[in-house]
Amino acid sequence: MKDHFLLYNKLNEYFGDLHWWPAETNDEILIGSILTQNTSWKNVEKAILELKKDNLLSLPGIAEADVDAISLRIRSAGFFRQKASRIKSIATRIVDQYGRIDAMQSLTTQDLVGFFGGLKGIGQETLDSILLYVFNRPVMIVDTYTRRIISRINYPEEAVDEKIMENALSDLRHSISVLKNYHACLVELGKRFCRKSPDCTECPLNSVCNYAIVLSSP
């Protein structure tokens, strides 16, 4: 398996710091992590803008709002009724138990996993995003892009989520800032180059990617 530190250096050299997650508050990151499920970030941005217009981009504001009012403003994000219900439920739980999300920073990672992992609408990828971007805990987010990229880099070896997480944390020395930008770079790579039908010729990782090397072989 290729060293994630090597992969990150190549990606960082190409993309630079992508400043992800783009949000002004931890409330906004949490809300965005729910909205981004099964949709594009462009659609999420539209929904966030609509929430911001009506001062609904805070957990206390969401907790007090009517579900229909939330739904109306997040239609662009898809599955808007389901997402509105889940966002309100999560916001209400946080506000009732802690008052605000920043009061949860003192919790252990295990306690955070126990809290968020038991909430409807929080799958593994969303949970890891919250841990990394809201609470600055050393987590490697393994999403569709990550699996595809790592599988191709280590071709024909199959990518296993647990192995990707374990190796990335070890190779990147649990660096929060690096883990954040590494995830952002992998997503950008997956969108621009390592698509279902990949563009290996222009990919910044083609010199270390087994799949690209096999394709270019005579």
Q: Which of 72, 107, 133 is the last residue of a domain?
A: 133
Whether residues 73 and 39 share a domain: the answer is yes
Half-sphere exposure of 211 (CA within 13 A, CB side): 22
Whether residues 163 and 120 share a domain: the answer is no
Whether residues 30 and 125 share a domain: the answer is yes
Domains of the chain: total: 2
The pLDDT, as a whole number, for residue 141 is 97
Whether residues 66 and 99 share a domain: the answer is yes
> For the chain (length 218 residues), average pLDDT per consecutive 10?
93 98 97 96 96 94 96 97 97 98 97 95 96 98 96 93 96 97 98 96 96 84
Counting Cβ atoms within 10 Å, is residue 182 exposed (0-12), middle (13-18) or buried (19+)?
Answer: buried
Whether residues 35 and 112 share a domain: the answer is yes
> In terms of residues, how long is the chain?
218
Whole-angstrom Cα distance, residue 77 to residue 95? Answer: 24
The pLDDT, as a whole number, for residue 218 is 65
CATH number, domain with residue 124: 1.10.340.30
Whether residues 66 and 129 share a domain: the answer is yes
Whether residues 152 and 121 share a domain: the answer is no
Please identify which residue in the block is written with the tokens 């239609």. 75
Whether residues 49 and 32 share a domain: the answer is yes
Please identify which residue in the block is written with the tokens 């126990």. 114
Closest CA to 60 of 102, 31, 95: 95
Q: Which of 104, 133, 162 is the last residue of a domain?
A: 133
Domain span at 205:
4-18+141-216
Whether residues 82 and 156 share a domain: the answer is no
Q: Which of 133, 161, 186 is the last residue of a domain?
A: 133
What type of residue is 155? Y
Q: What is the crossing angle of helices 161-171 and 4-15, to 10°?
A: 80
**Helices and strands, counts by H and E, the chain:** 12, 0
Whether residues 104 and 30 share a domain: the answer is yes
Whether residues 8 and 41 share a domain: the answer is no
CATH number, domain with residue 159: 1.10.1670.10
- Alpha helices by DSSP H, 104-175: 109-117, 124-133, 144-153, 161-171
- Can you give the pTM of this predicted structure? 0.95
Q: How far is CA 100 from CA 48, 89, 91, 149, 194, in A?
A: 19, 14, 9, 37, 39
The pLDDT, as a whole number, for residue 159 is 87
